[in-house]
Structure 1
Amino acid sequence: MATFVDLFCGGGFGARGAVRGGGRPLVGLDAWHMATKTYKANFPCAEVVTDYIENVDIKGLGQTYRPDVLLTSPECTSHSIARGAKPGSERSRETAIGIVPWVEAMEPRWLIVENVNRMKKWDRHNELVETIENLGYQVSDLHLNSADFGSAQARKRMFLICDREGTVVTKGQLLAFSDGTRMCARDTIDWGSSYRSTKLYSPGRAKATIERAERAIAHLGRGVPFIIVYYGSDYGGGWQTLDVPLRTVTTIDRFGLVTWNGNEPYLRMLQPSELLRAMGGGNEHKLPYGSRREKVKLCGNGVCSDVMTAIFQWINFNKNIGIPAT
């Protein structure tokens, strides 16, 4: 069983996938107390640290913990296209460089760095890769879509999968550990729920929301449920069908579900339990703390569990502990 230390651990979605893939969490670290509180609720045997990585006694932790894997997901907001036109924060970006002392202190065999694809456009991306290589790692630089690994969400991310013993991994090799299941947005919906839904054509409804909905209705016809997509760079007309994976879950409410009562369309926002399902949380993962807004943020900040499951299955296979390739 591959042990791991989880930097920028969030609510533990990446760790959930790692555990399913045969991993065991030793430490989860995040600067947001709601994230570490949620992490501890899901992985009570792990130590949790609530702080910024630069404030932590790295050498002390390195003497205590020698994980097989250092799992990291540095801040992505200043790389992400979802931030719109706001200028990026170099300090936020440099949390990626901040993982290097952790690698030096803990000397894990494997290092995993997850971030948005646009991180490759960062002018220090190559520096980060070269630094990792100079520490003795073979770096596999992959772009992976969670939908290919059985998630009900299309979440495209960069993964640096780094092995001190020189093993290279490809997307195809990781997909060999997936069962080939394909899920879609429809699979995330709590169809039997009693969540409050209001008439689409209600007084005060934003004109842009009505326009999104009417584009979908014109395409699908009346009586067909669909999802309105808010925010971010959207080239699909502001809506999507339920028969394809949900678009990327973000840290703010982005998805409205339109259903029908006879000929009347109704609208409600997707709930944290549904976003949790889109993140691959399954029945095991819980969001027991925080407001609705905080739970949405936890989901949007997470790593899709299904991708991490495949990565840890591959790691454990290479660690020779008896998890066969499929």
Structure 2
Amino acid sequence: MRIRTLDLFCGGGGSSWGAQAAGAEIVCGVDAWDLAVRAYASNFSTAKAVHLRMTPESGPADLGDIGEIDLLLGSPECTHHTCARGSRPRDEDSKRTAFYVTNFARDLSPRPRWVVIENVVHMRGWHGYEPLLTELRRLGYRTEVYILDASRFGVPQSRRRVFIVGDLAAQPPSEVRGQRGRAPWVKGIIAAEDEGHRSRPLRSEGRAPATLERAKRGIAALGEGTPFLIVYYGSDGAGGWQPLDRPLRTITTLDRFGLVTWRGSTPMLRMLQVDELMAAMGFWGGYSLDGIGQRRDRIRLLGNGVCPPVMAAIVGSLTRGAAQTASWAEDEEAPHDPPGPLFLAAAE
């Protein structure tokens, strides 16, 4: 099945990378950040990468001739839904960028068979959330909403996101398959010291007292000689550190993870590197951010991204469901209704 895909608010292309892994043909990605567009273009050489700051008036004509679209992906702005703003006021116009996705679904001709909108789970508390679902249904889409944690899809990171899925032709699967068993641990993505990631003694001159205090709590809990991560910018009361035998806490747009290792009895510290964070997002199979901006830019791209294995599972569930529906339609003795759920839900 050929699934021509348009990705709005594409960032560095996490959703597209996952959709492509599920068999989709990536046609076009759109983003307002020039570095995101560069990253997208470098990883999807046959797709159009459009640098565009969308407005309520934006539409398919802004993208030129991209042909028919089967799958519309969108990851509209999320910062103003979350605590990332701190005490600063939220911007309603930023939140309403979600409706730019439904505008494209309305204006593409023919309308795409599927729409997938991804965002932070806090989006569900927004007063525009239910109207967004209503608009999709008004356009003819049958909808399902999934709350999925990337750690249930083979990704060594705890990252819960909401995915709103619309299907013009059939009810989307009620569940999406996650992996059974233990979620992968962050220790699996830590690079060796001899791979160029150099540490300095934790107790170096000028080290921030707050960093030393976080490390002190980790050492007190685990004992000397056990590596762990210092976590900066946390607000969950976890003490500012985490062990390596569990998924990484959520990657954000900030450089927030410091790795404490040991050289004899001396604790050493370095920050997790971009290649490690890419692995913790599930970017496998040749994806690259080499040459894209500075380190902080690449971390921002990852922190704003979608974990590809999660999107691959969603797109795979939709296409398998479509193929199954088609086979029932062709079978004269097919049951009137599908025989129960085809997919297992990922744990919330």
Query: For this structure pair, what is the TM-score category when the shorter chain's length is used for normalisation?
Result: over 0.9
Residue of structure 2 equivalent to 1:291: 294
Deviations 1:158-209 (A, max 9, x none): 11011112313233x432xx57673111122112422221111112111111
1:3 deviation in Å?
1.8
Indicate yes or no: 2:154 matched with 1:150: yes
Residue of structure 1 equivalent to 2:88: 86
Query: Which amino acid in 2 is paired with 1:117?
Result: V
Give 3-state SS (helix, strand or coil) of 1:75's partner.
coil
Task: Report if the CA contact (8 A) 2:59-2:104 is conserved.
Answer: no
* One of 155, 170, 175 as aligned partner of 2:174: 170
Task: Report if the CA contact (8 A) 1:8-1:74 is conserved.
Answer: yes
Residue of structure 1 equivalent to 2:318: 315
| Largest Rg, 1 or 2 | 2
Where do 1:1-326 residues align within 5 Å? 1-54=2-55, 56-59=58-61, 61=63, 64-106=66-108, 107-171=111-175, 173-175=176-178, 178=179, 182-191=183-192, 192-288=194-290, 289-320=292-323
Residue of structure 1 equivalent to 2:336: none
Deviations 1:71-97 (A, max 9, x none): 000010101223322221112111111
1:220 deviation in Å?
0.5
1:62 deviation in Å?
8.3
Separation in structure 1 between the aligned mates of residue 304 and residue 284 of structure 2, nearest angstrom: 17
Task: Report if the CA contact (8 A) 1:225-1:260 is conserved.
Answer: yes
Separation in structure 1 between the aligned mates of residue 64 and residue 113 of structure 2, nearest angstrom: 14
Measured at CA, do residues 209 and 60 of structure 1 come closer, stay the same or move farther in structure 2, by a change above 3 Å?
closer
1:283 deviation in Å?
3.6
Separation in structure 1 between the aligned mates of residue 170 and residue 49 of structure 2, nearest angstrom: 31
Query: Which amino acid in 2 is paired with 1:53?
Result: M
Separation in structure 2 between the aligned mates of residue 270 and residue 181 of structure 1, nearest angstrom: 23
Task: Report if the CA contact (8 A) 1:82-1:232 is conserved.
Answer: no
Measured at CA, do residues 121 and 5 of structure 1 come closer, stay the same or move farther in structure 2, by a change above 3 Å?
same
Task: Report if the CA contact (8 A) 1:229-1:238 is conserved.
Answer: yes
Separation in structure 1 between the aligned mates of residue 170 and residue 343 of structure 2, nearest angstrom: 19
Separation in structure 2 between the aligned mates of residue 100 and residue 161 of structure 1, nearest angstrom: 12
Deviations 1:144-164 (A, max 9, x none): 000011101111001101111
1:64 deviation in Å?
3.8
Separation in structure 2 between the aligned mates of residue 60 and residue 164 of structure 1, nearest angstrom: 24
Separation in structure 2 between the aligned mates of residue 180 and residue 108 of structure 1, nearest angstrom: 36
Task: Report if the CA contact (8 A) 1:82-1:233 is conserved.
Answer: no
Task: Report if the CA contact (8 A) 1:147-1:153 is conserved.
Answer: yes
Q: Which runs of 5+ in 2 are unaligned?
A: 327-341
What is the percent sequence identity of the aligned residues?
Answer: 42
TM-score for the superposition, normalised by structure 1: 0.93
Q: 113-122 or 47-56: which moved more?
A: 47-56
Task: Report if the CA contact (8 A) 1:198-1:266 is conserved.
Answer: yes
Give 3-state SS (helix, strand or coil) of 2:148's partner.
strand
Q: 98-107 or 125-134: which moved more?
A: 98-107
Separation in structure 2 between the aligned mates of residue 180 and residue 316 of structure 1, nearest angstrom: 25
Give 3-state SS (helix, strand or coil) of 2:250's partner.
coil
Task: Report if the CA contact (8 A) 1:83-1:232 is conserved.
Answer: no
1:278 deviation in Å?
0.8
Deviations 1:96-117 (A, max 9, x none): 1122220012211110000000
Query: Which amino acid in 2 is paired with 1:219?
Result: A
Separation in structure 1 between the aligned mates of residue 126 and residue 64 of structure 2, nearest angstrom: 29
